[in-house]
Chains A and B, each alone.
Chain A
Amino acid sequence: MSTKKPPYLGFGLGLRPQHYDDILNGSPAVDWFEVISENYMIPGGQPLRILDRIRERYPIVMHGVSMSIASTASLDMDYLGALKTLADRVNPKWISDHLCWTGVHGVNLHDLLPIPYTEEALDHVVDRVTQVQDFLGRRLTLENVSTYVTFGQSEMTEWEFVTEVANRADCWLLFDVNNVYVSAFNHGFSTDDFLHGVPRDRVVQFHVAGHSHEETHIIDTHDHPVCEEVWDFYREAVTHFGPVSTMIERDDNIPPLAEVVAELDIARNIAREVSESVRLTAAE
């Protein structure tokens, strides 16, 4: 199994069909693209043809939404086989999915559902991650999700759970800056506790995204620009973790490519400012 830490890729975007033409006809200032794996787990046609052309020019990362790693249902070997076939074609820099479950009893709820943070769930998830990594022949990268409920039976914090999964299953982490912000607001914990609670050497990617504030809770909708508070937390994350491959997720109300590229420049500028500040501090 490949255990080498994935390379730093810079600043990327989620590949969306609305932007295909602008990407292929221009050379947008994007360092890499993340694709939703399921959107390309299809027999053929335009999406795969375009992905082939884009991957000739940009590094690609595969990001899944339905591995259901924490489900108590059996692992779906057909799904994993199709994922592996796509990976063989795309040669992604890494493969990620979410630390969550999406359904049981053959049903898929098409949502990233929360896990109770218990020893039982931990053992279960670690075992499943190990099985999937053995099958794929590579380490997985797992993302913390936005959650709206907590369970009475939880025995540890989310960051303790995430850390245990990463260390015991020997996988990488995708630190979703927005999801930490959303869950911290919804459940009343400190974003700093999460930030300092996960192992630095395991984090290989950041997500940033917009959300919808419903006053008493926040929903992770990916349909707005990234807000100031999330950019502030991103700055803290870059300061804490150092340079980490960063991408902006936008899944609804998708604006023209130029607008998302401009938003990506905010991330670049923050990372540059942090790096210059670190250099100045070191020189003093």
Chain B
Amino acid sequence: MTSLKELQDSFQAGILAGDDAILGEINDSAREKRTVLFGVYRNAYVARLAEVLGNDYEQVHAYLGDEGFADLVKAYIDANPSDQRNARWFGRHLPAYTRTTAPFANHPEVSEIAVLEMALNDAFDGPDAAALGIDELAAIRAEDWPHLTFQPHPTAIRLTFDTNAAEIWSALKDETAPPAPVRLPDPQAILVWRQDLTARFRPLQAEEAMMWGEAAKGVPFGVLCEMVATFAGEDNADLRAATYLRSWIDSGLLRGCQVETD
């Protein structure tokens, strides 16, 4: 008798690879042939994962259209058998898949739209942490400010896009005609995070992107101000740095701060 292990191997190969050996182990029913009955499992695997990808990548779907998205879904499912108990993470390779696989790789905005959707999904159910409040900063003594370091909210992630994918995503989300895809003259930084319960993103100008990157590494505020001054001029450099910091706090982008005492 075929062992349970062999039977399960064969059953799985029947679903994933279309291998018909399993049909020798199963019965026709009184009303239906075994090929049709086993087909229920084959169809369900693809249908279920297609539904997961459709939910996770709504704007990739909108951008490619039904037919294009169906082609992508089929190719992705064939290339990436699910290795996750939780289907929530089945689609996590889609950004890399579309970046490296023709014909999608010829349209780099597709992968970047997917990157943005995945980042928003990850922010939505990412780790919880109370956001740093303005009251906590108000309690910091003036002489300690130069030594103040900041911890980003655990859901905050900075992306870098070569195309106008964020603009395309926003238009699709609003159900308006997306702009034509273009390669940007300079890479664009995008911050994605969750504010309270809402996943958000916004583009960053170069100076703010620089300061965010350094702040996230634990560079203290005094040094951040000097870096801002070097980046775009000393005039109002402290004010510019303080304005960025204030907007991060108002947006819930930071989880905490501390005075470095070295």
- Of B29, B41, B86, B126, which one neighbours A66 at CB under 8 angstroms? B86
Q: Does B87 contact A (CB under 8 A)?
A: yes
Whether, in the assembled complex, A108 has its beta carbon less than 8 Å from a beta carbon of chain B, the answer is: yes
Contact B8 A107 (CB under 8 A): no
B60 an interface residue at 8 Å Cβ cutoff? Answer: no
**Is A110's CB within 8 Å of the partner chain B?**
yes
Asked if A107 and B41 sit within 8 Å, CB to CB, the answer is no
In the assembled complex, A46 has its CB within 8 A of some CB on chain B:
yes
B26–A150 touching, CB < 8 Å: yes
Contact of A153 with B25 in the complex, beta carbons under 8 Å: yes
Contact B88 A101 (CB under 8 A): no
Residues of A within 8 A of B19 (CB): none
Q: How many residues of B contact A (CB 8 A)?
A: 48
Most chain B CB inside 10 Å of its own CB: which residue of A43, A108, A109, A111: A109
Query: Binding site of A, secondary structure by majority: helix, strand, loop or mixed?
Result: loop
Does B242 touch A at the CB level, under 8 Å? no
B12 near A107: Cβ-Cβ < 8 Å: yes
**Chain B residues positioned under 8 Å from A121 (CB to CB):** 4
Task: Report yes or no: B30 in contact with A188, Cβ–Cβ below 8 A.
Answer: yes
- Stretch of B43-51, B215-223, B252-260 lying at the A interface: B43-51
**CB <8 Å contact, B197 and A46:** yes
The CA of A41 and the CA of B88, in the complex, are separated in Å by: 10
A116–chain B nearest beta-carbon distance, Å: 6
Q: Compute how far the CA of A217 lies from the CA of B34 in the bound complex, rounded to whole angstroms.
A: 11
B1-32 vs A, Cβ < 8 Å mask (1 yes, 0 no): 11111011101100110000000011101111
Interchain nearest-CB distance for A114 vs B (Å): 8
- CB under 8 Å from chain A, chain B span 243-258: none
**A149-B37 in contact given A108-B85, A187-B29 (Cβ < 8 Å):** yes
A 175-207 to B, binary, CB cutoff 8 A, 1 in contact else 0: 000000000001110000000000000000000
> In the complex the two chains form, is A38's CB within 8 Å of B86's CB?
yes
List of A residues within 8 angstroms of B30 by Cβ: 188
Instruction: Tell me the nearest residue of chain A to B87, going by C-beta.
Output: A110
Q: Of residues 47 to 92 in B, which have CB atoms within 8 Å of A's CB atoms? A: 48-49, 52, 81-88, 90
Distance in angstroms between the alpha carbons of A104 and B8 in the assembled complex:
7
A120 is an interface residue with CB less than 8 A from chain B: yes
Q: CB distance A116 to B15 under 8 Å?
A: no
Pick the contact of B15: A71, A72, A106, A109 (CB < 8 A). A109
Q: Is A4 an interface residue (CB 8 A)?
A: no
> In the complex, which residues 101-153 of chain A have their Cβ closer than 8 Å to any Cβ of chain B?
101-111, 113, 115-116, 118, 120-121, 124, 148-153
> Which B residues, 108 to 134, have Cβ-Cβ distances below 8 Å to chain A?
123-128
Chain B positions 169-208 with a Cβ under 8 Å from a chain A Cβ: 194, 197
Give chain A nearest CB distance to B117 CB in angstroms: 16
Is the beta-carbon distance between A41 and B86 smaller than 8 angstroms? yes
Residue of B nearest to A72 (CB): B5
Q: Is the CB of B125 within 8 A of A217?
A: no
Q: Decide: A148 near B41, CB < 8 A? Known: A109-B15, A110-B87.
A: yes
User: What residue of chain A has the Cβ atom nearest to residue B86's Cβ?
Assistant: A38
List residues of chain B with CB within 8 A of the CB of A44: 125-128
Q: Is the CB of B27 within 8 A of A152?
A: yes
Answer whether residue B36 sits at the interface, using C-beta atoms and an 8 A cutoff: yes
CB distance from A122 to the nearest CB of B (A): 10
Quick check: is B96 within 8 A (CB to CB) of the other chain? no
- CB neighbours of B31 from chain A (8 A): 215-217
Within 8 A of B (CB), among A1-48: 38-39, 41-48
Which residues of A are in contact with B by a Cβ distance under 8 Å? 38-39, 41-49, 66, 68, 71-72, 76, 79, 101-111, 113, 115-116, 118, 120-121, 124, 148-153, 186-188, 215-217, 219
A-B contact pairs, 12 of them (CB 8 A): A43-B125, A43-B127, A45-B124, A105-B9, A108-B85, A109-B12, A109-B41, A111-B45, A116-B4, A118-B1, A148-B41, A187-B29
Question: A45-B197, A151-B26, A186-B37 known; 5 other A-B pairs, CB under 8 Å?
Answer: A46-B125, A108-B84, A110-B52, A149-B27, A217-B29
